[in-house]
Amino acid sequence: MPPQVVVVGAGPVGCVAGAMLAAGGIEVTLLEAAPELPRQLRASTFHPATLDLLDHLGVVDEMIRRGLVAPRFAYRDRNHGVVAEFDLGTLADITNYPFRLQCEQYKLCEIMLERLGRMDNVTVRFGTEVTGATDRGDTASALLASGETLVADAVVAADGAGSAVRKSLGLGFDGMTYQDRYLVLSTPFEMADHLDGLAYVNYISDPEEWLVLLRTVDLWRALFPVGDDETDAEALGDRSVQGRLNGIVARNEPYEVIHRTIYRVHQRVADRFLVGRVVLMGDAAHINNPLGGMGMNGGIHDAVLLGASLAAVLRGDIDADRLDRHAEFRRTMAIDYVRRHTHQNARSLAAPDGAARQRALDQMAARAADPEEARAYMLQASMIDAVTPMREELEELGVNPRGP
């Protein structure tokens, strides 16, 4: 009988982990608490390095069909327009996908679940809440809210930021919470007809209120900070929503608003990503500021490396201490790469005073103007620099993340 793994959570990370394990010959049971796939608007950017990794699972062409290819991203001043623009097309020598793919995370889940549903060695159970997991030495178990216990060779916790598995293991989730909450609004109004040189991804600096403006296939999404002087209800109310959108492009009629969401932003990393035969990945293991779009992407990187190495350990192809090292490596990347860069992005956009704001803009303009500096910056922003250090290990595990 093949080794068995229970994966908790059918978000992007659980789906990718399940697929990596199943492709590695493991029998997978994927448990999802929600009665059907959650389709809230959350992450919507896939970076080049993540697309190179997802190529291994043969899903990228379909994602591209359902998403929007964004080769350029820009930094703007709200009053003066484009300050710096970066063309990911110049990375075509190092990635097969020299662009950000704007594609809602639930679309990846839909594509993956459709494929997992066709595999004999995968069972997907919706409406199945897990309350905790236990490491039992050479097996692990997942306890279900129904009272059922599933014993397997390993359990993967991909059950998101509030992870019941992480809590049941007593792991710390240390870090900080930002003072500002983030308000995300989406509208079908065509902003690009009114703002010169608008890219599909724009970081917009402003002395009063910075914002991020992103295009998805059907909508423009705008993300704004919300300070202590506004309650959630006030920020989500029509007065705030229409006022903020009119601050981007002033209109005589009200904006049609398709989604409005407010959420708290944190930087937190679990004490450990591996407890015996229980592996933590994605938001269950680390959460961060969304500026730069590295949260879900980093989680997918966890799922590819840890999914492939867990499968190899369970097949007996590599020693368990390799999985240990990979889990520690992913934890280091969550701290030294994802947390560092997303925090820097937040600090430079939200620079507190006029001089600091101008310095951040000047620095970005200088970067974009120097081809070598621009390339170095894009290698970091595209997360290619995050995947390069695990390339050799991935190749040894039979995953080829290389570009052309």
Q: What minimum distance in Å lies between the beta carbon of 361 and ligand FAD?
A: 22
Half-sphere exposure of 165 (CA within 13 A, CB side): 39
**Are 59 and 100 a contacting pair, CB within 8 Å?**
no
Q: Which stretch binds ligand FAD (CB under 6 A): 156-164, 196-204, 225-233, 306-314?
A: 156-164
Q: What minimum distance in Å lies between the beta carbon of 214 and ligand FAD?
A: 8
Q: What minimum distance in Å lies between the beta carbon of 42 and ligand FAD?
A: 3
- Answer for which of 87, 129, 385, 393 binds ligand FAD (CB under 6 A) is 129
Quick one: 24 or 290, whose CB is closer to ligand FAD?
290
Q: What minimum distance in Å lies between the beta carbon of 131 and ligand FAD?
A: 7
Q: Is 290 in the site for ligand FAD (CB under 6 A)?
A: yes
Residue type, 45: T
**Are 161 and 154 a contacting pair, CB within 8 Å?**
no
Q: How far apart are CA 352 and CA 134, in angstroms?
A: 46
* Residue bearing tokens 């080049």: 48
**Are 77 and 83 a contacting pair, CB within 8 Å?**
yes
Q: How many residues does the chain have?
A: 404
Q: How far apart are CA 109 and CA 336, in angstroms?
A: 28
Site string for ligand FAD, 367-386 (x = CB under 6 A): --------------------
Cα separation of the two ends of the chain: 38
Q: How far apart are CA 280 and CA 365, in angstroms?
A: 39
- Residues 39-68 touching ligand FAD, rule: CB under 6 A, are 42-44
Q: How far apart are CA 31 and CA 159, in angstroms?
A: 9
Residue type, 32: E
Q: Which stretch binds ligand FAD (CB under 6 A): 34-42, 70-78, 92-100, 376-384?
A: 34-42
- Answer for which of 107, 283, 289, 378 binds ligand FAD (CB under 6 A) is 283
Q: Is 132 in the site for ligand FAD (CB under 6 A)?
A: no
Q: Is 14 in the site for ligand FAD (CB under 6 A)?
A: yes
Name every residue whose Cβ is closer than 8 Å to that of residue 195 and which is 6 or more positions away in sequence. 81, 248, 249
With CA atoms as reference, report the closest residue to 73 among 293, 403, 326, 350: 293
Q: How far apart are CA 166 and CA 157, in angstroms?
A: 7
Q: What minimum distance in Å lies between the beta carbon of 375 and ligand FAD?
A: 23
Q: Is 293 in the site for ligand FAD (CB under 6 A)?
A: yes
Q: What minimum distance in Å lies between the beta carbon of 145 and ligand FAD?
A: 8
The pair of structure tokens assigned to 286 is: 């680390």
Quick one: 171 or 318, whose CB is closer to ligand FAD?
171
Which residue minimizes CB distance to ligand FAD? 11
Q: Is 296 in the site for ligand FAD (CB under 6 A)?
A: yes
Q: What minimum distance in Å lies between the beta carbon of 297 and ligand FAD?
A: 6
Binding interface with ligand FAD (CB under 6 A): 8-14, 31-34, 38, 42-44, 105, 129-130, 158-160, 164, 261, 263, 282-284, 290, 293-296, 299
